[in-house]
Chains A and B, each alone.
Chain A
Amino acid sequence: MSIIKVEDLSHVYSEGTPFEKTAIHNISLTIPEGEMVGIIGHTGSGKSTFIQHLNGLLKPTSGTITLDGRDIYESKQFTHDVRFRVGLVFQYPEYQLFEETVYKDIAFGPSNMKLSEEEIDERVREAAAFVRVEEELFEKSPLELSGGQKRRVAIAGVIAMRPSVLILDEPTAGLDPGGCQQILQNICEYREKSGSTVILVSHSMDDVARIADRLVVFSKGSILMEGTPEEVFSHPDELTEVGLSVPEPTSIAMALREKGVDLGSAIYTTDQLVSAITRWKGGPVC
């Protein structure tokens, strides 16, 4: 079952002015329900423009987007609902925190949905638990928190809307390795427990390679490649050609192949590389 279906989507910024710029063109993509999809591409590849279409923040210049089989512009009411059903966490989301307390900030989304007090309370607690924001922090000002905590609060603010699709734009940008690990783990747990569809936008191949079911590679405003991590990383040359770095284990495997040790093409984690090497002893692995 697909949850989001995008057909022939194009977006042109500042149309009709000298600053006109086509950000994405003719993108068609189907996102299956419940999957973790990684979108990869470097800055300016159109990935951020693309995801802002999925919850109706940007209007397509041409093309359609359907959610659960319904065009998101079908009716005003539905377009409004789409904001809550497709939760979008922007890059550096901690810069959007504004309430006096952590609790109120997480509650901002649900209260915009006009829910009852009890319902809001339940959702705030649930969302905070997903990203491991302890209840002791609820009455603190978001400004007092550490960088990693702020980011998790901001993500909770979107999860609290209980979206059926959660999109995160570069959720680990600027964090140290420990902070990155924690956020990625939170996201994996959230997805397991809630069963929602998750779209993870990243330029870190190593992060996405490990946790995504499917990868979509953006380049110059269109989709360059799409498939399982195995499929995508079996074309390392094409990826490096458009300036994307492949996961480091993949580069090691590539260097090995040049030295006459062909370990096969679908290596993108250290575990895979290690087990391929240990198995190789007896001869080439295909």
Chain B
Amino acid sequence: MLRDITLGQYFPGDTVAHRLDPRTKLALVVLYIVGLFMAKNWISYGLVFLVTIACMAVSHIKPKTLMKGLKPLIIIIVLTAVLNLFYTPGTQIIEGVPMTWEGLKKAFLLVMRILMLISGTFLLTYTTSPIALTDGLEKAMNPLKKLRFPVHEMSMMMSMALRFIPTLTEETDKIMSAQKARGADFETGNLLQRAKALIPILVPLFVSAFRRADELAIAMESRCYHGGEGRTRMKQLKYAARDAVAYLLGILFVAAMVVLRHYGL
């Protein structure tokens, strides 16, 4: 049930995309998004599309997997498309129906933009383990430490959250089954009734989450955790030649987008 959600999941693998330094991948996603937002017309969109396909091929992620992850967002996508289709002034496609050719183009490009935006970020999470991602973020945000921004604490919190998602998901499943066994009904009734039906799940879940947090804190202290100061890491992030190539490609891509935009393509 809850286990089947693939949004933001990591698919272990051994492709070049998997082996890139997480910092590189984070930077590439930023460059990709910048490039995407520069796209204005068919040709520039086409280039972004090609780049997306190329990235998918490199990381061995099938379009089907991506589509599955997009499912929960379908409503937003459809809504964007419909709004643009109907509310863009221009030449009507069929006389009397408020749909315009301009609207059609705008809707299509916008949907493409959303799809590619999401695909790009998904490619990051699909190919980067959550722990590598937090490590990358921590490293990338390191300069902020000088401004007293709690970089270490933030990344520790994130990795803890990631660590406990599967545990709490499993627990939610168990509590749901236990309450169902006592005749609880989560599937029928109006919105208010359904919201009320969640109480028997949420209360035990919170109680247990607090108990876990408490025990975890003691366990961490027992293992000499005392904040980020003086801490070393077993795995140190190291850039390799492929990272340099990746950075170069990323910059080339953005440069190409700037040129295309300049010529209004």
Contact = CB atoms under 8 A, between A and B. Distances in A.
A52 B180 CA distance: 11
A90 B178 CA distance: 6
B180 A96 contact: no
Given A14-B4, A143-B207, A158 B182 contact: yes
Nearest to B180: A57
Interface string B149-187: 000000000000000000000010011011111111100
A158 B204 contact: no
B97 interface: no
A125 interface: no
B183 A96 contact: no
A74 to B, nearest CB: 19
Contacts of A96: 175, 178-179, 182, 200, 204
B231 interface: no
A214 to B, nearest CB: 23
A259 to B, nearest CB: 46
Contact of B183 (A17, A113, A143): A113
Contacts of B179: 96, 108
Most buried by B among A83, A89, A96, A143: A96
Contacts of A113: 183
Contacts of B199: 98
Contact of A157 (B4, B175, B182): B182
A52 B177 CA distance: 9
Nearest to B211: A95
Nearest to B183: A112
A93 B174 CA distance: 10
A27 B131 CA distance: 41
Measured as residues with beta carbon below 8 angstroms from the partner, the interface class of chain B is: 20 to 34
Contact of A57 (B181, B200, B204): B181
Contact of A112 (B171, B178, B182, B208): B182
B262 interface: no
A38 interface: no
Contacts of A14: 3-4
Contact of B182 (A52, A143, A161): A161
What is the interface of chain B mostly: helix, strand, loop, or mixed? helix
A55 interface: yes
A161 B174 contact: no
A87 interface: yes
A98 B182 contact: no
Nearest to B4: A14
Nearest to A19: B3
Contacts of A55: 181
A84 interface: yes
Nearest to B184: A112
Contact of A97 (B4, B181, B204): B204
Given A95-B175, A97-B204, A83 B181 contact: yes
A112 B185 contact: yes
A247 interface: no
Contacts of B203: 98
A90 B204 contact: no
A141 B157 CA distance: 32
Nearest to B199: A98
A36 interface: no
Interface in A86-143: 87-90, 93, 95-98, 108-109, 112-113, 143
A17 to B, nearest CB: 8
Nearest to B201: A98
Contacts of B208: 95
Contacts of B182: 96, 108-109, 112, 157-158, 161
A98 B184 CA distance: 13
Interface string A66-92: 000000000000000001100111100
Interface string B188-201: 00000000000110
A196 to B, nearest CB: 16
A83 B180 contact: yes
Interface in B7-40: none
B181 A98 contact: no
Interface of A: 14, 17, 52, 55, 57, 83-84, 87-90, 93, 95-98, 108-109, 112-113, 143, 157-158, 161
24 contacts: A14-B4, A57-B177, A83-B180, A84-B183, A88-B181, A89-B181, A95-B174, A95-B178, A95-B204, A95-B208, A96-B175, A96-B178, A96-B182, A98-B199, A98-B200, A98-B204, A108-B183, A108-B184, A108-B200, A112-B183, A112-B184, A112-B185, A143-B207, A161-B182
Given A57-B177, A97-B204, 4 more contacts: A55-B181, A95-B208, A108-B179, A112-B182
